[in-house]
Amino acid sequence: MRSRFGTESSRHRCSMGRRTARFGPLLLLLLLPAAWGAGPSRPRELQVSARQAGQAARVALHYLNYRLGSPSALRALGQVRKARLKTIPGIGHKYYLQFTTEDYKSNQNVGTCLATVLYLKRKPRPAVNINCTYTKDQKQIQDNDYNFYKKMRQQTNPIIGKDIPDSYGNIEPSFEPVWALAVAGSSYVMWEKSTENLGYFMAQVKHVKQWISKDDVVDFDYSVMLHEIPTQEMISCHIRIIWTPDHPLKVKYFCLSENQWLESGEGSGTESGSTSGIYNER
Ligand SMILES: *[C@@H]1O[C@H](CO)[C@@H](O)[C@H](O)[C@H]1NC(C)=O
């Protein structure tokens, strides 16, 4: 990162040197502000309704939902309260955000988050730092996760399902946690794929199949449809999700878009592309 700054500023110095030799000190005065402007700028306020602000807040929540790896604690964006944007020349755009969150299922307000999201010019996935308050009962969350885990572990016949939710938007209650786990795992894919201008929602689980595992894990193969905005494109992803409560999710995926490009990747909850700092306080 430093060397890029170095290159930029030495290039400016060189070109200024040539010109000042010909046009004298007056031009030096005119050019100086432009050269200074090439340094990191101060963050500027954004409208909380700006599409990029909501987009960046959703990226931060994809990261949070993936990292917490808890199907019972999924959060969606409530309202953006504050948004600022800093342009870092040669590096990328950094968003500073404050927003409220809602429980994924009940839509009840469950707390506020402070987050930074840095879209790097050269790296694919945005770097996220997020701290949130959480008003939901943590014990209840843990119990729900553990009960789902126990039920899946006791399964002698693998769970198999399709079209969750169905075309009427309904989710059969027994498949609700299976779907929620797909959202948590897809959040990894959505975080990886997100850019400043492209966002993702998990639209539907097309197909799910459980692998009965001898290890103490819950293991699912999913086919999911991701909805890309604002292009409205549907992207089909195959995602393998391996889960144990209170452990990072293990995710492997490949995706195929309507334009037939293929992408793949994998995550284990130890990604270095992002700073740590998930705090859940009441
Ligand atoms: C989150 O909290 C940590 C530790 O207090 C702090 O270093 C970090 O800057 C915070 N992140 C945000 C986005 O506020």
Tell me: the pLDDT tens digits for 100-135? 999 999 999 999 999 999 999 877 799 999 999 999
pLDDT of residue 40: 58
Number of helices (H) and strands (E), helices first, in the chain?
5, 12
Q: Is residue 30 part of a domain?
A: no
Does residue 282 fall inside a structural domain?
Answer: no
**Residue whose CA lies nearest to ligand 1 atom number 13:** 115
Pocket probe for ligand 1: among 96, 114, 118, 128, the residue whose CB has the most ligand atoms within 8 Å is: 114
**Residue having the nearest C-alpha atom to atom 4 of ligand 1:** 277
The stretches in the chain having pLDDT less than 70 are 1-40, 260-261, 270-282
Ligand 1 pocket test, pick from 81, 129, 281 with the greatest ligand atom count within 8 Å of Cβ, gives 129
Label residue 103 left, alpha or beta by phi (over 0 means left) and psi (-120 to 50 means alpha).
Answer: beta
Atom 3 of ligand 1, residue of closest alpha carbon: 277
| 214 domain residue, yes or no | yes
**CATH number of the domain within which 173 lies:** 3.10.450.10
Q: Is residue 278 part of a domain?
A: no
Query: What is the rounded CA–CA span in Å between residue 36 and residue 41?
Result: 9
CA distance 276 to 64: 10
Residue 7 lies in a domain: no
Opening angle at CA 223, ends 219 and 225, nearest 5: 135
Distance 128 CA to ligand 1 centre (A): 11
R_g of the chain, CA atoms, integer Å: 23
Per the domain annotation, does 92 fall within a domain? yes
**CB 116: neighbour CB atoms within 10 A?**
20
Domain count, the chain: 1
1 within a domain of the structure (yes/no) = no
Helix (H, G, I), strand (E, B) or coil at 33: helix
Cα 160 → chain centroid: 28
130 lies in which domain range?
44-267
In this prediction the pTM is 0.82
Pocket lining for ligand 1, CB < 6 angstroms:
114-116, 129, 131, 277
Asked if 219 and 158 touch (Cβ cutoff 8 Å), the reply is no
Tell me if 171 is assigned to some domain: yes
Distance 117 CA to ligand 1 centre (A): 12
